[in-house]
């Protein structure tokens, strides 16, 4: 997503998801916790598939909220957790009040470059996104630029077993289709 479209969903947080200060999102009720109380073995392949599914769900919900901002959306608690969820919800309220939304761009795409399972409760997805989505204010185009972003998305498994995004740290941003998008 372009910086402006990302800003529509989450505000001034770097590349759409993380805190600009680099601090990690705190867990809330039902949200991910990182300490595992179980010593039972875990299935790495299954955990990896679950994280990939959570990543895809994140991307779908992010686009839905970009095109139709809704601070009351149940998707927020399904995809984001902790202070990151609160920040996204707050930005959604702001977008509604300012009349901001997005429209799909033809060249917009994303992919997982690398997935690293830290444990059975924590994972990182290195994401490459080419964003050509358009930002609208009351239906008028205010940004139609194309950018490439590389981001470290941190997911944690909640006490309910679901993986949620708890932080994102920008790795790079390049104008146009460039950088990680050229390494396909």
In a domain? residue 31: no
Pairwise CA distance, residues 82 & 17, whole Å: 12
* pLDDT at site 141: 95
Residue 19 contacts residue 167 (beta carbons within 8 Å): yes
Give me the mean pLDDT over the 80-99 stretch: 93
Among the listed residues 104, 42, 120, 43, the one whose alpha carbon sits nearest the alpha carbon of residue 68: 104
Q: What range defines the domain where residue 19 resides?
A: 3-23+44-183
Q: 72: domain CATH number?
A: 3.10.450.50
Indicate whether 29 belongs to any domain: no
For residue 177, the tally of other CB atoms under 10 A from its CB is: 15
Whether 82 maps to a domain, the answer reads: yes
- 178, 96 contact by CB (below 8 A): no
User: For residue 28, is it within any domain?
Assistant: no
Q: Which residues, in sequence order, are bridge partners of residue 151?
A: 127, 170
pLDDT classification of 42: cutoffs 50, 70, 90: confident
Decide if 38 is inside a domain.
no
Q: Number of folded domains in the chain?
A: 1
Question: Is 51 domain-assigned?
Answer: yes
Share of the chain above pLDDT 90, in %: 65
Query: Is the residue at 161 inside a domain?
Result: yes
Chain centroid to Cα 70, Å, comes to: 16
What per-residue confidence (pLDDT) applies to 40? 55
| Tens of pLDDT, residues 121-147 | 999 999 999 999 999 999 999 999 999
Is residue 59 pLDDT above 90, yes or no?
yes
Rounded to two decimals, what is the model's pTM?
0.77
- pLDDT category, 105, cuts 50, 70, 90? confident
Asked if residue 176 is part of any domain, the answer here is yes
Give the chain as a DSSP string: --HHHHHHHHTTSGGGTS-TT-PPPPP-TTSB-------S---HHHHHHHHHHHHHHHHHHHHHHHHS--TT-THHHHHB-HHHHHHHHHHHHHHHHHTEEEE--TT-EEEEEEEEE-SSSEEEEEEEEEE--EEEETTEEEE---EEEEEEEEEEEBTTS-EEEEEEEEEEEEESS-GGGGG-
């Amino acid at each position: 997503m372009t910086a402006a479209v990302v800003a529509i969903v989450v505000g001034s947080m770097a590349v759409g998801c993380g805190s600009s200060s680099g601090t990690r999102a705190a867990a809330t009720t039902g949200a991910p916790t990182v300490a595992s109380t179980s010593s039972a073995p875990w299935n790495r392949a299954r955990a990896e598939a679950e994280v990939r599914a959570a990543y895809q769900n994140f991307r779908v919900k992010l686009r839905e909220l970009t095109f139709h901002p809704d601070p009351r959306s149940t998707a927020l608690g399904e995809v984001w957790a902790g202070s990151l969820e609160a920040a996204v919800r707050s930005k959604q309220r702001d977008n509604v009040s300012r009349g901001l939304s997005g429209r799909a761009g033809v060249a917009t795409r994303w992919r997982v470059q690398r997935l690293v399972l830290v444990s059975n409760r924590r994972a990182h997805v290195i994401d490459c996104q080419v964003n050509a989505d358009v930002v609208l204010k009351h239906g008028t185009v205010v940004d139609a630029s194309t950018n490439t972003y590389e981001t470290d998305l941190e997911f944690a498994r909640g006490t309910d077993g679901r993986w949620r995004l708890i932080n994102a740290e920008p790795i790079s941003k390049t104008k146009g289709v460039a950088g990680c998008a050229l390494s396909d």
